[in-house]
Amino acid sequence: MVTSMANLASATKSSRRDTNRTSGKPSKPKLRCAVYTRKSSDEGLEQSFNSLHAQRDACEAYVASQKHEGWVLLSGAYDDGGLSGGSMERPALLRLLDDIRSGLIDIVVVYKVDRLTRSLADFAKLTELFDQHGTSFVSVTQHFNTSTSMGRLTLNVLLSFAQFEREVAGERIRDKIALSKRRGMWMGGLPPLGYDSVDKKLIVNEREAETVRYIYEQYLNIGSIAELKQTRA
């Protein structure tokens, strides 16, 4: 009788375990997450721990916190260092978009929205591509829901400010270059023939200057650039 009761108890426990297995909640599908990072300038990229690493650490920590939702971090790195967010011609971003088209990514994780792009027009293209391939994106420092009209408005406002910031920075740089040129400073690039760049100033290179003078003298004598080129061919 005791043996029979023990067998019954054992069978009951086994039945409960089987019931728990079969009645448990279904596991959530895995969502493949790709982390994208970007830094506008190449300053500090040579350091062992730079801005790209900091962005990636924050994004990876966020993905880990969503493990219960089925989020899985992909091993591939999508890092663009020293590239502006005003253009989509970025190697890592283009590789990311190719992987999205190939159906390899479910969620794109960024530190801030402007790491992905600073252009409203480009962002519209990206969201269209994301929608076509069932890919969503998440900013770990800016929480909004793009499935609602208010969430989309918030996102557009954030991107408007990001684009405004980029344009103001560009205007400031252009103004500085123009002012430097008016003061006679050489702002980089290949110096013209007959000059050398020394301490941001153009200094006459006498050896090349002789060549320049000779070219001008021959032009004045011939009167035609095409003929001058033929005589030098």
* Same-domain status, 98 and 135: yes
- Look at residue 73 and tell me if it is in a domain: yes
Reduce the DSSP state of residue 104 to 3 states and report it: coil
5 has a pLDDT exceeding 50? no
Q: State the CB neighbour count (10 A cutoff) for residue 118.
A: 24
CA 105/CA 63 separation, integer angstroms: 14
* Same-domain status, 37 and 151: yes
- Looking at the chain, the whole-number percentage of residues with pLDDT higher than 70 is 85
- Look at residue 218 and tell me if it is in a domain: yes
CATH number at residue 61: 3.40.50.1390
Final residue before a domain boundary, out of 128, 147, 167: 167
Query: What is the mean predicted confidence (pLDDT) over 113-137?
Result: 85
Residues sharing a CB contact under 8 Å with residue 162, sequence separation 6 or more, in sequence order: 85, 113, 114, 118
One-letter amino acid identity for 216? Y
Per residue in 48-106, pLDDT (tens digit) is 899 999 999 999 999 999 999 899 999 889 999 999 888 889 999 999 999 999 999 99
Q: For the chain, what is the domain count?
A: 2
CA 97/CA 103 separation, integer angstroms: 10
* Same-domain status, 144 and 220: no
Reduce the DSSP state of residue 202 to 3 states and report it: strand
φ/ψ (deg, to 5) at 199: 55, 45
- Look at residue 18 and tell me if it is in a domain: no
* Same-domain status, 36 and 142: yes
Q: What is the pTM of this model?
A: 0.59
Closest listed residue to residue 58, CA positions, set 105, 100, 113, 112: 112
- Look at residue 180 and tell me if it is in a domain: no
Domain range for 40 is 31-167
